[in-house]
Amino acid sequence: FLLGFAALLQTVAVIYGLVLLGRRQGATAGWLFLLGAMASMLAWRVFVLVKVVLPPFFNPTIAIWGSTCMVAAMYFFGREVTLRRKAETERDALLASERAARELAERASKLKDEFLATASHELRTPLSVILTWCSILTSGRASETELRKAVEVIERNARIQARLVDDLLDMTRMVAGNLHLELRTVPIDVPVRAAITSVTPAAQTRGISI
């Protein structure tokens, strides 16, 4: 009874192995060698069950064949596991790279928004000064001294705005790798006095003394 039950189990195992092989679950060579080992065990079990007289070399031959098939099956299954682990590692590395690239793109987009906001503010400042002095000129109540001063301030702020535009173009050259720097000494009082002169009309309009 036990021999018959063992033969039945081995038959089921062989059939199930054929089904898995038909589905091509990977490691085809491993499944083939495993089927060879199970088939040899099934053949030996059937011969013993039906009490067939076997030649002396049959048992060693079937044992060597089954053991060889089992070792080969383990080798191919192990190689399949190694390949799948390598593929999973590469997939994880790719996902990490894509995540890092997405974070970098989001950071670059945020920096771009901050840069545009800063550039807009810097461009608006000299433009506001120019508009303020233009309103003084068009009011008709400006003295000759104020007229000369207005022309100077408007010209200076126009140059400041032109320089800001040049700075934006320099940013473009910097991104393209074509920016050339010119180093020279700049007196610190010049930009400070220019800034004070630029905001003085707007400050006086609001009653603020500088």
pLDDT, mean of residues 63-69: 78
For the cut 70, the answer to whether the pLDDT of residue 26 exceeds it is no
Q: Are 123 and 167 in contact (CB under 8 A)?
A: no
Question: What average pLDDT does the structure give for the chain?
Answer: 78
Q: Are 30 and 77 in contact (CB under 8 A)?
A: yes
* pLDDT tens, position by position, 138-151: 877 777 787 888 88
* pLDDT tens, position by position, 156-192: 888 888 888 888 888 788 878 787 778 888 788 887 8
Count, residues in the chain: 210
Which pLDDT score, from 0 to 100, does residue 61 have? 78
Residues 6+ apart with CB under 8 A from 35: 14, 17, 18, 21
> Greatest CA span in the chain, whole angstroms?
132
pLDDT, mean of residues 124-149: 81
